[in-house]
Chain A
């Protein structure tokens, strides 16, 4: 389908010359003899480009261009001014009004043809880019929806534990993922993963890791031949399995993970950590300490052994898992939110329910950052042991 060009000039001699010139380019052409006709013709003909004279009766070319640019239906049609007004200020005015080019008269026919070709090519490329962007956006939204499905949808209702979380990806898809796994009636597992980088590549690895950590995946809960026909893998074993499965060179990415198993009947937590920010324990009396046993990132193939620790919870104890995006969130002065601020906030609201504590912590982070952009995913999960 030929591209369409509208020629606007009050001089019939110019219109004839331009028609003759542009016919060589194989374009479909229409004409208008003044500014008002130009606007009407644009809305009927829908040109791909407009060649626009300036000095015309009724509306001049600047007024026509301004009207075209203010109408969403015509705003993206490129306008090339073609005028005997040769002063620099006229050219500036034309470009500032929204013209994409300015050719002075008397014009060289070859130059007009070349510039028309260029602008039409640019318009076509821009349309292609916008189309591709639209498809990419649709794919990203779909990927984000899939990733969102992998996250826990709502906190499970438990007698002995309450929990809540906040998840803020910096892109539509994120490199953070977390989950709560019901291993059996006495055991809950929590994990939080932070894959290096963010966006789609990191998100795809979170999908892979979350699949591996599903209870039926064989990693966190192993099948055995004797009743109860399953054995819960220790956090240490889980770290080791992940480290074997995800060497750095597999995806050129590494990730950190903290993995905890809560024994609801005994009120104990056993955990291990691979390079992830150490979970915080907020005691009922407001003391905060770090659960700091662990090892290095997943991906180094056992270079540094992982550690495991078991702690005993008291009723009212709260545990918080979080990703480094939270602590490293910077304000406009380049200052990071940091662990001490986070600990202070937790102490201040220690007696509040878990969900309220997370809301307060998140508000504190946003207030600190102002309208600074979020450059990394932020995830915060907390649970309270009720006894």
Chain B
């Protein structure tokens, strides 16, 4: 798997593991939400992801959060699954460089 290098400010290093773990849990929560038909819950998760990603330095998480939020508004289950897949791949592929 090709690595995705992400540069993060050094003073955030201790926060990153929890942040990424919360995103992994988000993936699970979205899939559960799809099973339950809880698109509003998915929308809120996407909205929060959109708001947090770039602040930590994960612009891609912001982009995926926006896509997820839009997909939940439709609702478009296929698009939602696609975002979850992208996010899971991203979380596996990232390599963080602290500066």
Q: Which residues of chain A in 105-122 are interfacial with respect to chain B, using CB atoms and an 8 Å cutoff?
A: 105-109
Contact flag A17-B52 (CB < 8 Å), given A106-B62, A109-B9? yes
Which of B11-19, B28-36, B82-90 lies at the interface?
Answer: B11-19
Selected contact of A106 from candidates B11, B18, B19, B54, CB within 8 Å: B54
Is B24's CB within 8 Å of the partner chain A?
A: no
Q: How far is the CB of A337 from chain B (nearest CB, A)?
A: 64
* Interface residue count on the B side (C-beta < 8 Å): 19
A14 touches B12 (CB 8 A): no
Binds A, one of B42-50, B70-78, B91-99: B42-50
Q: Which residues of A contact B59 (CB under 8 A)?
A: 106
Selected from B9, B47, B54, the residue in CB contact (under 8 A) with A55 is: B47
B22: Cβ under 8 A from any A Cβ = yes
Q: Beta-carbon contacts of B49-74 to A below 8 Å, as 1s and 0s? A: 01111111001001000000000000
Are A14 and B15 closer than 8 Å at their CB atoms?
no
In whole angstroms, what is the CA distance A13 to B17 when docked? Answer: 11
Q: How many residues of A contact B (CB 8 A)?
A: 16
**Which chain A residues border B9 with CB–CB below 8 Å?**
109
User: Is A13 touching B19 in the complex (CB atoms < 8 A)?
Assistant: yes
Q: A106-B62, A107-B55 are known contacts. Are A16 and B15 too (CB-CB below 8 A)?
A: yes
Q: Given that A11-B48, A55-B44 are known contacts, is A106 also in contact with B15, CB under 8 Å in the complex? A: no
Distance in angstroms from A35 CB to nearest chain B CB is: 15
Question: Which A residues are in CB contact (< 8 Å) with B52?
Answer: 11, 13-14, 17, 105-106
Shortest CB-to-CB span from B12 to chain A, Å, is 6
> Are A106 and B50 in touch, CB under 8 angstroms?
yes
Bound complex: CA of A20 vs CA of B10, how far in Å? 11
Query: A10, A13, A84, A109: which contacts B50 (Cβ < 8 A)?
Result: A84
- Residues of chain B lying within 8 A (CB to CB) of residue A105: 50-52, 54-55
Chain B residues with a Cβ under 8 A of chain A:
9, 11-12, 15, 18-19, 22, 44, 47-48, 50-56, 59, 62
A interface list, Cβ under 8 A from B: 10-14, 16-17, 20, 55, 83-84, 105-109
- 23 pairs across A/B with beta carbons < 8 Å? A11-B51, A11-B52, A13-B18, A13-B48, A13-B52, A13-B56, A16-B15, A17-B15, A17-B52, A17-B55, A20-B11, A20-B15, A84-B47, A84-B50, A105-B50, A105-B51, A105-B54, A106-B50, A106-B51, A106-B54, A107-B55, A108-B55, A109-B9
